Copies of this chain bind each other. A is one copy, B any other.
Amino acid sequence: MPPIKINHIAIVVEEVDAALKFWRDALGLPLQHVEHNEGEEVDIAFLPVGDSEIELIAPFTETSGVAKYLAKKGAGLHHLCIEVEDIAAALAQLSAQNIELINDAPRARPDGTRYAFVHPRATGGVLLELYELPAERKHS
């Protein structure tokens, strides 16, 4: 079963409010909400566009993975997230073809979304996240 759609594009920024001056105020994307994520030490602004979202991610400590990425690589496109119907089946299919995964098994967010990352070495340089939405939020 082919992947469903682009769920989101994540952009690492220095600071959410400054980034919103472009993405919301100048470009005109609606801001759905901003999440203060203590676990990952980032603020995330969610801006829907069509059937996908743009996520602006800013670290609020210097110790998180995102903070280290920002210090090393600078602001910009960070990862692509593609939604699939069945993430366990998708990971099994990738493993069977010797694709290098960061997460061999799906992990779960508090809202029930299951996710896993594919290593950039396997994709040609792209950090790729796979999502399976909880049943009540699936489109089908």
Contact = CB atoms under 8 A, between A and B. Distances in A.
Given A3-B27, A6-B52, A49-B6, A13 B125 contact: yes
How many copies of this chain sit in the oligomeric assembly? Answer: 2
Interface in A18-62: 18-19, 22-23, 25-30, 49-52, 54, 56
Contact of A125 (B50, B76, B82): B76
Contact of A22 (B2, B13, B99): B99
Of the listed residues A3, A49, A74, A126, the one surrounded by the most CB atoms of chain B closer than 10 A to its CB is A126
A48 to B, nearest CB: 9
A26 B93 contact: yes
Interface residues of A, number: 47
Contacts of A3: 27-29, 49-50
Interface of A: 1-6, 9, 11-14, 18-19, 22-23, 25-30, 49-52, 54, 56, 74-80, 82-83, 90, 93-94, 97, 99, 120, 122-126
